[in-house]
Structure 1
């Protein structure tokens, strides 16, 4: 009677071993490329030359670092199994956009870093599910515009960094639903004026950075900002004197109505989102968003890697090959165990 018992035990042991290997394949201790800390729930995949996010990141991960890699695109479901994340870093990659719905399950996320990438546009509603976000870093990208209402759901955010982009204008009401925002960075953009009332709802703001923008102090569009900055300077808001006129070097808050007498019309760039992104990503229902077509011959897609211009790095290839070989060996051993049980039962 020991034959079936031994076979059953063998099945259990093999299954447990395989599950453990599959779940831990991301971590160095199991042959992966990332450093994992089981106590702190931190996973560090930074500076690994990754062209795609490793598979099998532990679902209970709290802190995930993917900075200093070569990520140029992300699948829409990249983080859908990581609902426990409170910290996510995607700094210093090559991302040109973020898929709509990519942060759909990250309702606990508090800090998001996407600095030093190549973001040119953001899909409508991309941050809508980050209802507990506290800090958002989008600085040093190539954003020329922002979608309408892009920050509307970030009602708990205290820090927003848009410095070092190519913003030419701001959408009306872009900051109107951020009552807890304390620090706002808009320096080193291409802003010439701001919409009427754009800062009025920022009741908690104590630091505003506006330097190195070509503020046009000859047009009366600047008067709202000049009066608002002057008032806030008297109330102790920091950074208000960093906004200087493009011509003459005078501080914007010192501009008078006589100096800003012209009626100027600037190109409308507040909704200048590429049509390919609008038609593909603008759906309010994330589940209805169509997948982007991928060529059948895309080898990276077959292996689960997303960057079209580069093959997976050597560690990633080894992880994929070892995973497939492990799966094949698992099924071979399972089949052998089953055949053994059947043979024993026939003899009995």
Structure 2
């Protein structure tokens, strides 16, 4: 009677293994591409050529490295199950935008690195849930402006790097809630010291220099080489006029279009990419990468092996039942 019992146990074990294979492997020890450390609860997926974030990252992970990959976009829910994260590294990818709520569940996060990407703007309130954050690195992107209040909830932040972007000024009050800031890097931005929008930052930096804040003298004017904190109201007297994303239509054109017949209006060519955006077309968020394809092949091979062993176990059980 021991034969059928052992065979049944083997069948259960093989079924569990099959389910594990079906879910895919993340860590190298299981046939995946990432390095996982169970003691430190860290997952290192850096330099794997990933174009999408793996979906099976353990929920108890505290450190996640996704730097030096080929990520161009993030799913809005990419990190929503990782509420234990204290360290997240996304640097040196190809991110052009950030979904508005992508960091909302990371309430214990202390370090966030998004440097060396292609971000031109940040969504409003993107960091509002990161109240434990102490280090935020946004350097070497293409940021042209900052949303009002984008740093207001980061009262524990100690280091902020905005260097090597395309910032010309910051909104009034942008740094007012950074009560624990120790170092602020602002160099290599085209700060416009002729525009009165710069006066808030100039006065704030001057005050913080007296309080010993590091990095305040790294912000230099685009023209003249003068430090931003030295700019006076007389020097920054001009109203700010920056190019907008929208362009006003001359009233003469509007009048002409309004008085014309439909047949007189010329047909304007629409670029294919704009037409796709109009129809709501979007590129898929998750495209398979070479490592992920290898993982899939490994999963299929494991599945086939599991099926073979499961079939053998079933035949083994049938054999002993017939003899019983």
State the TM-score, normalized to the length of structure 1. 0.74
* 1:84-123 alpha-carbon deviations (Å, 9 max, x no partner): 1111111111111211011101111011111111111111
What's 2:301 paired with? Answer: 325
* 1:193-245 alpha-carbon deviations (Å, 9 max, x no partner): 11111111111111111111111111111111111111111111111111111
The structural deviation recorded for 1:246 is 0.8
Measured on the aligned residues, the alpha-carbon RMSD in Å equals 3.1
What's 1:83 paired with? Answer: 59
Which structure 1 residue ranges, 5 or more long, are not aligned? 42-61, 281-290, 295-300
What's 2:50 paired with? Answer: 71
What's 1:130 paired with? Answer: 106
Check if 1:167 corresponds to 2:139. no
What's the secondary structure of 1:325's corresponding residue?
Answer: helix
Considering Cα pairs closer than 8 Å and 6+ residues apart, tell me whether 1 or 2 has the greater RCO.
2
Following the alignment from structure 1 to structure 2, what is the Cα–Cα distance between the partners of residues 200 and 35? Answer: 40
The structural deviation recorded for 1:11 is 2.5
The structural deviation recorded for 1:320 is 3.3
Q: 1:272-287, aligned counterparts within 5 Å?
A: none
The structural deviation recorded for 1:69 is 2.3
What's 2:261 paired with? Answer: none
Q: Is the 8 A contact 2:33 2:48 kept in 1?
A: no
Check if 1:149 corresponds to 2:125. yes
Q: Is the 8 A contact 1:135 1:158 kept in 2?
A: yes
The structural deviation recorded for 1:4 is 2.6
Q: Is the 8 A contact 2:36 2:44 kept in 1?
A: no
What's the secondary structure of 1:335's corresponding residue?
Answer: helix
Check if 1:195 corresponds to 2:195. no
* 1:52-92 alpha-carbon deviations (Å, 9 max, x no partner): xxxxxxxxxx11111112122336xx25x521111111111
Of 220, 223, 248 in structure 1, the residue corresponding to residue 199 of structure 2 is 223
Which structure 2 residue ranges, 5 or more long, are not aligned? 246-273
Following the alignment from structure 1 to structure 2, what is the Cα–Cα distance between the partners of residues 293 and 249? Answer: 43
The structural deviation recorded for 1:253 is 0.9
Structure having the higher Rg: 2
Of residues 319-328 and 13-22 in structure 1, the stretch that sits farther from structure 2 once superposed is 13-22
Taking a change above 3 Å as real, the CA distance of residues 9 and 135 of structure 1, as seen in their structure-2 partners, is closer
Q: 1:165-314, aligned counterparts within 5 Å?
A: 165-267=141-243, 306-307=287-288, 312-313=290-291
Check if 1:8 corresponds to 2:31. no
Following the alignment from structure 1 to structure 2, what is the Cα–Cα distance between the partners of residues 213 and 86? Answer: 33
- Count, aligned residues: 294
State the TM-score, normalized to the length of structure 2. 0.79
